[in-house]
Amino acid sequence: MATKAYTKYIAATLISIIALLGWFDNSKHFDVERMGDVTCAGTYEEPCEWGYNITLTTIQVYYIQNKNGTQFDFMPEVKDFYNCKKDGRYRFEKHKDRTQHPCGLGWREFDWKTPLTSKYKYINKFYKNKKQEFKIVVFKHNPEDVIKFGGSITKDEFDPYFYGNLNIVQNCKTREEFDTCERIVIHYSNYTFINNKTETNESRQNIWDSIKSYDCNPHEVEYDCVIIGIETDKVKITCPPNTRCDVIGTNWCMLDCFDGDCNYNAKQLVSVLKLPDYIWSSKCIEVSNLKEGMKIKISDFKKSIVRVEKLSVSI
């Protein structure tokens, strides 16, 4: 009969978060899911967040103790970093302020060493088949920084990055436009009147001003912009011909076009004309999953393939 509960003291010394996940990976009791590379600015408005999930799969309950917590090794150094655990009790409006609550709404700080209350010695309690969600929150010195925080997990080298800001490359039409400026215009008007005292004609002049609007400051304005590619700090990808591309959330999406029509409504045209669905297809992939040399097939009908290229940027 399987043991119903078990208690484990993980380490007697400070342990890295990668080594901690390695321990869970090597354990027969847990299943671990984790993110790959992440593209982020690392600001309070857009923190870098790297998530991992741990699920107990064998016994009923598993208690974790870890006296000295976890450490981080970032290259280059970061401004600040936090361990977090998902907790639905942390849902007050104040938790939206990342300057005061770095883990954010619905999460609490969790350092892998401090028990939830003084009543318990364990730092975390796992229940069978209940997925628990954790994450690392990082704030960078500069949004462009590329931060490495990987290491060795089991027999594989786990090497995640926090990439710098995503650069969206667009192709736009341009036209000349003008600002509206105003100037004061002075008006003059001469008139003649009869002076009743002298009974002679005399001339006088009226003067007044008005404001006149005119076009000024000619400048180029972009319009009808189309996304043609994206660049991270390591790779770039270009939208292939006869394809519409978009960045939707953290996904790079390529939409195969029908007969030159790259509008989303073209899919309805396929249905109206009773054409087979396979001539219409789209492909979305997480930006963080784009790797150098990756080939992405967009359409089985057109056999179109787009390749992820490497940027000439040293990391």
At 91-131, the pLDDT tens digits run 888 888 999 999 999 999 998 888 888 888 899 999 999 99
Angle 189-193-194 from CA coordinates, rounded to 5°: 165
Cross-strand bridge partners of residue 253: 246, 284
Query: Which distant-in-sequence residues (6+ apart) come within 8 Å of 27 by Cβ?
Result: none
Q: Contact at 8 Å (CB) between 87 and 106?
A: yes
For residue 218, what are its two tokens?
Answer: 């000619």
Give the residue among 290, 285, 160 at the shortest CA–CA distance from 232. Answer: 290
Q: What is the reported pLDDT for 224?
A: 86
Q: Contact at 8 Å (CB) between 261 and 280?
A: no
Q: What is the reported pLDDT for 113?
A: 87
Q: What is the reported pLDDT for 8?
A: 80
Q: What is the reported pLDDT for 103?
A: 95
Give pTM, 2 decimals. Answer: 0.55
For residue 53, what are its two tokens?
Answer: 């999930």
Angle 190-195-200 from CA coordinates, rounded to 5°: 90
Give the residue among 33, 31, 29 at the shortest CA–CA distance from 58. Answer: 29
- Which positions of the chain have pLDDT values less than 70? 1-3, 11-14, 150-159, 233, 248-250, 256-282, 298-315
What are the residue ranges spanned by the domains of the chain? Answer: 5-163, 167-172+230-310, 174-220
Taking the C-alpha atoms of residue 259 and residue 240, their distance in angstroms, rounded to an integer, is 15
